[in-house]
Structure 1
Amino acid sequence: MVAYDVFLADCPARTTLALISDTWSVVVITALGRGPARYGELRAKIGGISNKMLTQTLRRLADNGLVERRELRTAPPGTEYRLTALGRSLLDPVCALSRWAEENTDALLAARPA
């Protein structure tokens, strides 16, 4: 196993951090932590995300092995997304970060200069 050091400028783990710390990635991973969802369900659940951004985020997460995309043989045809085992391993830290943000937003807002 390779030892990575995020303090090094060329460390590949920085790319990983950028992927998983993106706001939309955190929200999508958290949403999929509740179970598989179709694109329209995710779009309805995640307020403020555009179709383009949801598509880009899902593709990026799938390309990196965190999300699985599955074509459904339904009428009309659909697509379902679910977390992979790797994506599920990220769920606890991401949910903890989301909870922290929800619980501490008031304090952060109060700390900002007027």
Structure 2
Amino acid sequence: MPPPNQPRPKQCYNLGRSIRDAVENWESDARVRILGSGGLSHFTIDEELDCGMLRSVKEHDADALSSIPLEKLNAGNSEIRNWISIASGAEYLNLLGWYIPRSTIPSLEPGAPWPSR
């Protein structure tokens, strides 16, 4: 069970959708950009988790994004929650991305440029 201040994946997904709905219903001509920051797996790179996450984002797979096991979202991996929120809020976009696992240093460079509508 996550600490009480950590949202579950489904809550993250719903947050992204709520933000999108709020922006779409805002009566303004202003341009809005929503940004989430954070990495994918940390410390020990989990390529299966990372690639599954990016595949779910690319395929707009709400069920997969909403049901990532909580035990996979511990420590630095918890930043995946940011990706879930942004992915659900921007699911109408086509993701162009890349994934470069770094084995020589404990880091990962996922990339996800989101084109504007």
Q: TM-score, normalised by structure 2?
A: 0.30
- Structure (1/2) with the larger helix percentage: 1
Q: TM-score, normalised by structure 1?
A: 0.31
